[in-house]
Amino acid sequence: MDRDRIYQERIELLSQINEISDFPLILLSIIWLILIIVDFVYGLSPFLQTTTNVIWGIFIADFFIELYIAPKKKVYLKENWLVALSLFLPAFRILSLFRGLRAIKITGFIRSFNLARILSSFNRSIRTVRKAVKRRGLEYVLLLTVLVTLIGAAGMYNFESPGLGSYLDALWWTAMIMTTIGSDYWPETIEGRVLTFLLSMYAFAIFGYITAALASLLVGKEKETSSKEVMELRNEIQRLSSEVSKISEREKR
């Protein structure tokens, strides 16, 4: 009984903490995703890098607090392993501080590391949108798609520069992939090709839903308009029928 009571108390405490921290963490997640894009496209100034590190520290603290309170820690880690990956990947940036490693050709490693950061950012985007939008409808999918497109474009620019000359070029290219239209440019790096494949899979899975939802929305409006017209016609018929009845009664008199 004591074990069940403790389990329930931990679940309630975890729920209360999530309720209190949801909104601040959503705002911090949005700032974090913006800084990720800026980092891949332009690089970060010392101030922005410090801001990123502070937000990163808050995310890590929140993760460990939830892990400590969670009644089943193995289950929590199993369900949130991508979150853990997205939190601990930035720690590997310390490798760039070692001069010995700078002398080694680690361009491929850096690109692979950046690909992992992009994928973990996708996971952060999903969590952010999931908390911000309670209903998993068209609004949820559209917002998530916008975030995936913006972050994906930053990754493609980082991997494929100078093939993609600017972030706007990369954004246009990514938008064409997301709408399944495609583009003439084909990625040259392995990381760029992997990211292109993942973006294409996302577009293949989601774009059909967006198209169907928009079509349903338009058809729904047409149905609503048609139903209004039918009701107006029915009311007009009833009015004419009533007038005819009154005229008939007068003639009988």
Q: Give the count of beta carbons closer than 10 Å to the beta carbon of residue 67.
A: 13
Helices 190-252, 167-178: axis angle to 10 degrees equals 60
Higher pLDDT, 206 or 159: 159
Q: Are 129 and 140 in contact (CB under 8 A)?
A: yes
The predicted structure's pLDDT at residue 149: 94
Q: What is the DSSP string of 88-113?
A: HGGGGGGGGG-HHHHTS--HHHHHHH
Q: How confident is the model at residue 246 (pLDDT cuts 50, 70, 90)?
A: low
Higher pLDDT, 233 or 173: 173
Does residue 136 have a pLDDT over 60? yes
Q: How confident is the model at residue 199 (pLDDT cuts 50, 70, 90)?
A: very high
What gap in Å lies between CA 71 and CA 3, rounded to an integer? Answer: 10
0.85 cut: is pTM over it?
Answer: no
* Mean predicted lDDT score pLDDT of the chain: 78
Q: How confident is the model at residue 45 (pLDDT cuts 50, 70, 90)?
A: very high
Q: How confident is the model at residue 219 (pLDDT cuts 50, 70, 90)?
A: low
Does residue 180 have a pLDDT over 70? yes
The predicted structure's pLDDT at residue 154: 94
Q: Are 142 and 211 in contact (CB under 8 A)?
A: no
Phi-psi region of 43 (alpha: psi -120 to 50; beta: other; left: phi over 0): left
The predicted structure's pLDDT at residue 4: 76
Peptide bond into 71 cis (omega under 30): no
What gap in Å lies between CA 188 and CA 194, rounded to an integer? Answer: 11
Q: Are 129 and 139 in contact (CB under 8 A)?
A: no
The token pair that represents 252 in the structure block: 């009988």
Helices 2-41, 107-132: axis angle to 10 degrees equals 120
What gap in Å lies between CA 57 and CA 184, rounded to an integer? Answer: 41
Share of the chain above pLDDT 90, in %: 21
Does residue 244 have a pLDDT over 80? no
